[in-house]
Amino acid sequence: MKNMKSREGTKSVSRSNYFQNIKKCVIRRRELKYFQKLIDNELKDMSAEERDTYRKTSLITFQMLAEELEDRKKEFEQRIFDSVRVKEKETIIYTALIPEKNYYLYEDFMYPIVKKSVLTADRLEPLADKERIFKTVFIKKSYSELKELEGRIFEANIVGNKRYYDINVKLVPDERFIKKMHELYDVFDVNGIKWRTLNTAYAMKMYKVVQAEENPDMESDISMFADFEVYVDFEELEGSIYEEHMLVWNIEERDIISTHLVRPTEDRIHYEHTIKLNNEKGVYIYPREHIFLSYKEKETLYVITDNKEGSIWKTWIIKENINKKRFENAEFPLLNNEKNYNFLNSLRAESEVKMRSEAEIKRIITSYKALENKILYKDYYMTDKRLENTLEYYDMNSFLTDEFRLKGRGENLYIYFEINKRDYLTEDFLSFIISDIQLKFHEYNCIGVEYGRTV
| 77 band by pLDDT with thresholds 50, 70 and 90 | low
pLDDT in tens, 88-132: 456 899 999 999 999 999 999 999 999 988 888 877 777 767 788
Note whether residue 333 is domain-resident. no
Note whether residue 332 is domain-resident. no
Q: Identify whether residues 279 and 402 lie together within a single domain.
A: no
DSSP string, 48-75: HHHHHHHHHHHHHHHHHHHHHHHHHHHH
Q: What is the pLDDT of residue 453?
A: 65
Q: What is the pLDDT of residue 209?
A: 94
CA nearest 81: which of 9, 14, 12? 14
Q: What is the pLDDT of residue 318?
A: 93
Q: Identify whether residues 172 and 143 lie together within a single domain.
A: yes
Note whether residue 26 is domain-resident. yes
Compute the distance between CA of residue 364 and CA of residue 342 in angstroms, rounded to an integer: 12
pLDDT in tens, 180-199: 999 999 999 888 888 889 99
Q: What is the pLDDT of residue 292?
A: 76
Q: What is the pLDDT of residue 56?
A: 66
Q: Is the pLDDT of residue 273 over 60?
A: yes
Compute the distance between CA of residue 232 and CA of residue 34 in angstroms, rounded to an integer: 88
445 Cβ neighbours under 8 A, 6+ residues apart = 409, 411, 412, 413
Q: Identify whether residues 240 and 295 lie together within a single domain.
A: no
Lowest mean pLDDT among 17-21, 130-134, 245-249: 17-21
Note whether residue 58 is domain-resident. yes
Q: Identify whether residues 163 and 240 lie together within a single domain.
A: yes
Determine contact, residues 205/139, Cβ cutoff 8 Å: yes
Q: Is the pLDDT of residue 283 over 70?
A: yes
At residue 160, the 3 state secondary structure works out as: strand
Q: Considering its fold, how many domains does the chain have in total?
A: 4
Query: Which one has a higher pLDDT value, 25 or 225?
Result: 225
Compute the distance between CA of residue 147 and CA of residue 102 in angstroms, rounded to an integer: 30
Determine contact, residues 264/327, Cβ cutoff 8 Å: no
* Percentage of residues in the chain having pLDDT higher than 90: 31
Q: Identify whether residues 274 and 205 lie together within a single domain.
A: no
Query: Which one has a higher pLDDT value, 172 or 297?
Result: 172
Last residue of a domain, one of 318, 349, 373: 318
Q: What is the pLDDT of residue 90?
A: 60
pLDDT in tens, 214-248: 888 888 888 888 888 999 999 999 999 999 999 99
Write out the residue range of the structural domain in which residue 300 sits: 251-318
Determine contact, residues 335/97, Cβ cutoff 8 Å: no
Q: Identify whether residues 137 and 201 lie together within a single domain.
A: yes
Query: Which one has a higher pLDDT value, 291 or 92?
Result: 92
| 168 band by pLDDT with thresholds 50, 70 and 90 | very high
The strand pairing partners of 262, in sequence order, are: 273
Determine contact, residues 95/249, Cβ cutoff 8 Å: yes
Q: Is the pLDDT of residue 4 over 60?
A: no
Q: Identify whether residues 360 and 223 lie together within a single domain.
A: no
Q: What is the pLDDT of residue 57?
A: 74
Q: What is the pLDDT of residue 421?
A: 81
Determine contact, residues 84/7, Cβ cutoff 8 Å: no
Q: Identify whether residues 240 and 95 lie together within a single domain.
A: yes
DSSP string, 170-204: EEEE-HHHHHHHHHHHHHHHHTTPPP-----TTGG
Q: Identify whether residues 244 and 313 lie together within a single domain.
A: no
Query: Which one has a higher pLDDT value, 405 or 401?
Result: 401
Q: Is the pLDDT of residue 415 over 80?
A: yes
The Cβ-side half-sphere exposure at 426, using a 13 Å CA radius, reads 18
Q: What is the pLDDT of residue 445?
A: 87
Determine contact, residues 255/314, Cβ cutoff 8 Å: yes
Compute the distance between CA of residue 226 and CA of residue 242 in angstroms, rounded to an integer: 25
Q: Environment class of residue 357 by beta-carbon count within 10 Å: exposed (0-12), middle (13-18) or buried (19+)?
A: exposed
Query: Which one has a higher pLDDT value, 334 or 43?
Result: 334
pLDDT in tens, 437-448: 888 888 888 999
Lowest mean pLDDT among 229-233, 263-267, 275-279: 263-267
DSSP character at residue 389? S
Q: What is the pLDDT of residue 150?
A: 83
Q: Where are the alpha helices (DSSP H) in 110-253?
A: 116-119, 143-147, 175-190, 216-221
State mean pLDDT over 432-441. Answer: 88
Taken in order 138, 143, 145, 146, the sign of the CA dihedral is: positive
Q: Environment class of residue 428 by beta-carbon count within 10 Å: exposed (0-12), middle (13-18) or buried (19+)?
A: buried
Q: Is the pLDDT of residue 135 over 80?
A: yes
State mean pLDDT over 396-421. Answer: 75
Q: Where are the alpha helices (DSSP H) in 120-173?
A: 143-147
Q: What is the pLDDT of residue 347?
A: 44
Compute the distance between CA of residue 83 and CA of residue 290 in angstroms, rounded to an integer: 38
Determine contact, residues 373/340, Cβ cutoff 8 Å: no
Over the Cα atoms of the chain, what is R_g? 30
Query: Which one has a higher pLDDT value, 339 or 8?
Result: 339
Q: Is the pLDDT of residue 293 over 70?
A: yes
Last residue of a domain, one of 188, 219, 249: 249
Q: Identify whether residues 430 and 409 lie together within a single domain.
A: yes
State mean pLDDT over 253-268. Answer: 71
Q: Is the pLDDT of residue 428 over 90?
A: yes
Q: Is the pLDDT of residue 267 over 90?
A: no
Dihedral, 295, 181, 129, 246 alpha carbons, nearest 10 = -120
State mean pLDDT over 336-357. Answer: 59
Q: Identify whether residues 186 and 100 lie together within a single domain.
A: yes
Q: What is the pLDDT of residue 350?
A: 46
Note whether residue 232 is domain-resident. yes
Last residue of a domain, one of 83, 114, 149: 83
pLDDT, averaged across the chain: 80
State mean pLDDT over 327-335. Answer: 92
Compute the distance between CA of residue 230 and CA of residue 372 in angstroms, rounded to an integer: 40
Q: Identify whether residues 284 and 137 lie together within a single domain.
A: no
Q: What is the pLDDT of residue 400?
A: 81
